[in-house]
A and B are shown apart, each in its own frame.
Chain A
Amino acid sequence: MTGRARVRGPRTGSRAVTLALTIGLALTLLPFAWMTLASFKTPAELSIRPPTWWPLQPTFENYTEWLTRLDFPLHFANSAVVAVFVVLGNLVFCSMFGYALAKLQFRGKRALFLLVMGTLMVPGIVTMIPLFVLVANLGLVNTYPALILPFVATPLGVFLMRQYMLAVPDSLLDAARIDGAGEFRILFRIVLPLCGAPLATLGILTFLSSWNNFLWPLVVAQSQEMYTVPVALSLYSIGPGGIQYGLLMAGSMLVLLPILVIYLSLHRFVMRGMTATGGPSLADATDR
């Protein structure tokens, strides 16, 4: 990695490249800056043309509106509850299945693995309509289980856990088996404690995709008190009446803040997970 570009007189070259990258990065982050600044503006200030950058009279009005009058805490709680159960479900179910696939012999193992992985590339919208019919017949429309259950068993998670567990030495497991430990015990006491990295990666990826999930909650959360944050935000953004962009920028901030905090503190896991397993598009494909 180091010194690759250093072969011939690259000092000035690498400086020029870095300057270009800095400009590119500034442009990339511009929408975040605009959102942040605009979220502190009054409607009057937002209607100034041409638009201005800095809020002249910064106001928290847009945020207090969300937090007190628009039920944002409720939507936030919905998103959080759904995300927590989706994460827990994936950690438990994918670890168990991943362990069976990586370390145990049973009939039909290969076929099952291929079947599950085969759905990785299926566009999420393909299952939407039948899933709605199913959920309607189970009497689950507009409930937490409907928002959670379709996402707690993802192929992505199985893939991640299986790949990592394959590298756990068999000798470790055999030693435990000789001592009389059962497979459940081996999984939870020996294997999983070694799987911190993939569990963290899986947990973060499923949290992000659950938090950002939109299409299915839009379909199945039918009353306002069941809306998740993106659904509430989108419906305010296309709702009747005048569009209040200050309010929408504050709402976008509130949606993005938890994600950006998690990302900035745990970016290594996020990037590792996305490059190792096929990125958010695959995660989205399975999670919608």
Chain B
Amino acid sequence: MQRQGLVAWALALPFLAIFAVFMILPLVGSLAMSFTDMSSRDVRTPFAVNLVGFDQYAALFADERFVQSLLNTAYFVGVGIPITIVVGLALALAVDAGIARLRAVFRIGFFAPVVTSIVAVAIVWRFMLQSDGIVNSMLAVVGIDGPQWLTDPAWAMPSIIIMTVWRNAGLIMIICLAGLQAIPPELQEAASVDGAGPWTRLRRITLPLLRPTILLGAVLLTVGYLQMFEEPFVMTGGGPLGATTSVSLFIYEQFGFGDYASGAAAAYVLVVATAAIAAVWFRMLRSRVES
């Protein structure tokens, strides 16, 4: 056993060494940095900085730009996640109920946006959403006067959410399809024999049994959506009037200004938010499994 322990550590060492230097160290460093006044001038002397306690956090919450980025991120997460889940779930149910032979085509097609580079597709969407672009010209065909998608402060975030739902609904679909496969068909058949219509079966059998799957999807989306960056960076630059500046974009801007400590503090606000929301999802998951 003693020897096996040594061999095990030897096998683990390359991973752990890299992981410690490039993950754990920056993770701890970011927390430490958030209690200092570190700036880009201190890059070469990262330990010669002054401790300032919670000053960076206090300054953040007094900073309108940060508060707005927090609210924008909350908007994006709060609206984007439910819509993504509803669309993804609807796709999964439809693909499951549709003609069996075409199932593979739909799975592959609807999932395709998930694997794409956000930068590339965000550029395509920015082009399509120009005020005189192809989307508005298609809407005009059906008599709708499309909005100034990315240049109207009220429409910029909805535009980004639409693109994000387009890109991520396929992921929820695939997760839900896997969950649907795990529901024994006998349950549905028995309910059907008892006179339950499709709507009742959906509400009483399918959705309750899919609940853990949906919550898993919610956890994934929470982690991803809270760090939204490429979408506003490419599509709006955070504008108009800061309407799409996310917390990640704010951190990137602080980094650009050389205000490292402030960026690190904002990053830890994001960590706390992620942990808090994930904890809610996990609690919902557990309470249901137990009951």
Contact = CB atoms under 8 A, between A and B. Distances in A.
The answer to whether A and B belong to the same complex is yes
Interface of A: 1-5, 7-8, 10, 13-15, 17-18, 20-21, 24-25, 28-29, 31-32, 34-35, 38, 49-51, 53, 89, 92-94, 96-97, 99-101, 104-107, 109, 112, 115-116, 119, 121-134, 136-137, 149-150, 152-153, 158, 182-184, 187, 208, 211-212, 214-215, 219, 229-230, 233-234, 237-238, 245, 248-249, 251-252, 255-256, 259-260, 263-264, 267, 270-271, 274-275, 278-282, 284-285, 288
Nearest to A267: B108
A222 B188 CA distance: 58
25 contacts: A3-B185, A15-B99, A21-B91, A34-B124, A93-B14, A97-B11, A97-B16, A104-B8, A104-B11, A106-B9, A115-B24, A121-B278, A122-B274, A123-B248, A126-B26, A129-B33, A130-B264, A136-B43, A136-B44, A229-B117, A230-B117, A248-B127, A275-B175, A279-B220, A284-B224
- B-side interface size class: 35 or more
A86 B47 CA distance: 31
Contacts of B175: 275, 279
Contacts of A112: 12, 16
A264 B234 contact: no
Given A128-B251, A281-B220, A18 B102 contact: yes
Nearest to A5: B97
B248 A125 contact: yes
B252 interface: yes
A259 B116 CA distance: 7
Contacts of A14: 97-99
Contacts of A214: 117-119, 229-230
B31 to A, nearest CB: 9
Nearest to A278: B220
B239 to A, nearest CB: 12
A1 B185 CA distance: 7
Contacts of A282: 220, 223-224
Given A126-B27, A127-B23, A133-B29, A275 B174 contact: yes
A110 to B, nearest CB: 13
A49 B134 CA distance: 9
Interface string B242-263: 0000001001100100001001
B151 interface: no
A136 B44 CA distance: 8
Given A112-B16, A130-B29, A183 B7 contact: yes
B12 to A, nearest CB: 5
Nearest to A15: B99
A260 to B, nearest CB: 7
Nearest to B187: A4
Contact of B117 (A49, A137, A211, A288): A211
A119 B219 CA distance: 14
A38 B43 CA distance: 44
Contacts of B115: 208, 259-260, 263, 270, 280
Contact of B27 (A96, A127, A132, A256): A127
Contacts of B224: 279-282, 284-285
A261 to B, nearest CB: 11
A277 B89 CA distance: 19
A87 to B, nearest CB: 15
A2 B1 CA distance: 50
Contact of B22 (A153, A208, A229): A153
Interface stretch (B59-67, B152-160, B265-273, B283-291): B265-273
A25 B106 contact: yes
A51 B189 CA distance: 51
B231 to A, nearest CB: 11
Contacts of B170: 28
Interface string B83-101: 0000000010011111110
Contacts of A256: 116-117, 120-121
A232 B244 CA distance: 23
Given A25-B109, A271-B107, A38 B22 contact: no
A264 B109 CA distance: 9
A219 B119 CA distance: 15
Interface in B11-44: 11-12, 14-16, 18-19, 21-27, 29-30, 33, 43-44
B1 to A, nearest CB: 6
Contacts of B5: 104-107
Contacts of A270: 111, 115
Nearest to A104: B8
B220 A96 contact: no
Contacts of A101: 12
